[in-house]
């Protein structure tokens, strides 16, 4: 290239400049005598045999947008070129006022390794819980560096799978939204047991390993739990993961009551077994690992072993159901008067127990008859209305002499006898006199 005739400005520029990849370089071009550039100025790049127009008053080449800066000065048209790459190596021409200057730019690899760099520490160990989310941490030592390439892979024991960008688990994977471009941490949601393994975070040819362990529901090593309930009442069968924040994948409750093993939760509507219908409820709790079960309206036949199963482990609960028990004292003698009422006393030792079955029978004049539950003609018999379900006392009204005899109160296989003596009203009057 030959120098053109000079105009109103005498240009000056260095013959050669050296820059480094990723950095910036200034290609100086200015009037030496402080003059003004009179005619349109242009910058050309000659990477090979042909010239490329980089800049003119009309605009900037697309490839160099945001990388080129030229000062707005009458006698200075120096060019600053940023984010250098090896492809920028070549000859640049500053041209104006019918003259030009050529500058040879040499681009070398940066002495400082570009891109994302990780610390030298070993793998990071992370623990998550099934059903929850976990953050797999990964960041460049300079979190303001934006890596050119980011990739996350998972080695779960069978194969190495790309999970970011996009992959089989893409619906559960999210790169954290951060103002720091060098924060490459990944959120993995809805953890399963099979998610445990080694995850690799890769950026700019370097990598960092994260070893993920997924915890499942497990129970303490103590033996079966013994629980006692009462007929007619409710009982809570306790069962919980050692970490109550873990959400088990599968929950099952079974009952072994001596004859067969029956699934009581979740209930199968097609099984035809209505024994536990509307009697079983998993406790509503903010802790997903609390698997305790409420069993209502207990009967004596509910006594047995209940098994709480979750994620392949189980815990046994042995339930004893108490029924109505009477004291060991003998028969109770009671006296009534004809035409009056009398209370035949009978109560469980624990009056809060509600017996499964209640029956009163009367043995009078060598005849035995059930008087409670009442028959259509038994309008004289009334079980006392009481807040205590274990109070089974009976009121017998309009007594006659034929009511005299022995009355038996039966509940849950136990019984208590009451011997009733009935006195005529005249005899009552004589007694009062």
> Using one digit for the tens of pLDDT, what is the confidence trace for 70-90?
877 777 888 889 888 888 999
Asked if residue 378 has pLDDT above 80, the reply is no
8 A C-beta contact, residue 299 and residue 356:
yes
CA-to-CA distance for 250 and 130, rounded, in angstroms? 11
> Using one digit for the tens of pLDDT, what is the confidence trace for 307-320?
999 988 899 999 99
β-partners of residue 206 are 203
CA-to-CA distance for 364 and 402, rounded, in angstroms? 7
Say which residues have a Cβ less than 8 Å from residue 292's Cβ, sequence separation at least 6: 236, 237, 238, 239, 240, 282, 283, 285
246, 248, 249, 255: CA torsion to nearest 10: 180
CA-to-CA distance for 351 and 325, rounded, in angstroms? 10
pLDDT of 115 reads 75
Looking at the chain, the domain(s) classified CATH 2.60.40.10 span 11-108, 124-215, 225-322, 332-426
Q: If you average pLDDT over residues 275-299, what whole number do you get?
A: 89
8 A C-beta contact, residue 103 and residue 27:
yes
Question: Would you place residue 5 in the very low, low, confident or very high pLDDT band (cuts 50, 70, 90)?
Answer: very low
8 A C-beta contact, residue 144 and residue 182:
yes
pLDDT of 70 reads 82
Q: If you average pLDDT over residues 56-63, what whole number do you get?
A: 83
CA-to-CA distance for 115 and 238, rounded, in angstroms? 55
pLDDT of 3 reads 42
Asked if residue 169 has pLDDT above 60, the reply is no
Fold that domain 124-215 belongs to in CATH: Immunoglobulin-like (2.60.40)
Cis peptide before 285 (omega within 30 of 0): no
pLDDT of 429 reads 52
CA-to-CA distance for 239 and 224, rounded, in angstroms? 11
- HSE of 426 in the Cβ direction (CA atoms, 13 Å)? 1
Angle at 81 between CA 79 and CA 85, to 5 degrees: 150
Q: If you average pLDDT over residues 272-282, what whole number do you get?
A: 84
Asked if residue 135 has pLDDT above 90, the reply is yes
CA-to-CA distance for 198 and 416, rounded, in angstroms? 71
Q: Which CATH number fits domain 11-108: 3.40.50.300, 2.60.40.10, 3.30.1300.10, 3.30.160.150?
A: 2.60.40.10
> Using one digit for the tens of pLDDT, what is the confidence trace for 92-129?
999 887 788 999 999 887 765 567 888 877 899 999 88
140's tokens: 């460049």
Asked if residue 431 has pLDDT above 80, the reply is no
- Architecture label for domain 332-426: Sandwich (2.60)
Asked if residue 33 has pLDDT above 60, the reply is yes
Fold that domain 225-322 belongs to in CATH: Immunoglobulin-like (2.60.40)
CA distances from 119 to 142, 143, 209, 219, 375 (A): 10, 12, 11, 39, 89
pLDDT of 213 reads 92
Asked if residue 417 has pLDDT above 80, the reply is yes
pLDDT of 118 reads 87
Burial 386-406 (b: 16+ CB within 10 A, else e): eeebbbbbbebeebeeebbbe
CA-to-CA distance for 336 and 362, rounded, in angstroms? 15
């Amino acid at each position: 290239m030959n120098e053109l005739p000079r105009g109103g400005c005498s240009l000056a520029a260095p013959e050669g400049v050296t820059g480094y990849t990723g950095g910036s370089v200034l290609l100086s071009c200015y009037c030496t005598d402080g003059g003004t550039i009179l005619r349109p100025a242009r910058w050309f790049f000659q990477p090979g045999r042909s010239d490329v127009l980089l800049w003119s008053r009309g605009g900037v080449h697309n490839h160099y947008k945001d990388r080129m800066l030229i000062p707005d000065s009458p006698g200075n048209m120096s060019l600053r070129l940023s984010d250098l790459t090896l492809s920028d190596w070549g000859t640049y021409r500053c041209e104006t006022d019918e003259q030009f200057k050529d500058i040879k730019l040499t681009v070398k690899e940066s002495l400082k390794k570009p891109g994302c760099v990780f610390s030298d520490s070993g793998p990071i160990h992370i623990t998550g819980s099934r059903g929850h989310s976990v953050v797999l941490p990964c960041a460049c030592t300079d979190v303001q560096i934006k890596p050119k390439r980011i990739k996350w892979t998972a080695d779960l024991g069978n194969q190495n799978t790309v999970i970011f960008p996009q992959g089989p688990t893409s619906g559960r994977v999210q790169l954290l939204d951060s103002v720091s471009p060098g924060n490459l941490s990944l959120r993995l949601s809805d953890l399963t047991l099979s998610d445990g393994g080694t995850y690799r975070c890769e950026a700019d040819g370097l990598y960092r390993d994260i070893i993920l362990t997924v915890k499942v529901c497990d129970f303490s090593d103590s033996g079966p739990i013994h629980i006692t309930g009462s007929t007619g009442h409710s009982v809570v069968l306790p069962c919980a993961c050692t970490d109550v924040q873990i959400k088990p994948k599968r929950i099952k409750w079974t009952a072994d009551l001596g004859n067969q093993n029956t699934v009581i939760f979740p209930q199968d509507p097609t099984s035809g077994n209505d024994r536990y219908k509307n009697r079983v409820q998993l406790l509503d709790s903010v802790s997903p690992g609390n698997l305790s079960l409420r069993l209502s309206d207990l009967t004596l036949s509910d006594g047995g072993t209940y098994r709480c199963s979750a994620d392949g482990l189980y815990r046994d609960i042995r339930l004893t159901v108490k029924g109505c028990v009477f004291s060991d004292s003998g028969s109770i003698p009671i006296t009534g008067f004809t035409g009056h009422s009398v209370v035949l006393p009978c109560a469980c030792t624990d009056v809060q127990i509600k017996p499964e079955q209640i029956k009163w029978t009367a043995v009078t004049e060598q005849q035995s008859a059930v008087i409670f539950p009442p028959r259509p003609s038994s309008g004289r018999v009334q079980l006392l209305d009481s807040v205590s379900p274990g109070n089974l006392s009976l009121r017998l009204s309009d007594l006659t002499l034929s009511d005299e005899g022995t009355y038996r109160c039966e509940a849950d296989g136990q019984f208590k006898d009451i011997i009733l003596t009935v006195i005529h009203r005249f005899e009552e009057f004589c007694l009062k006199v």
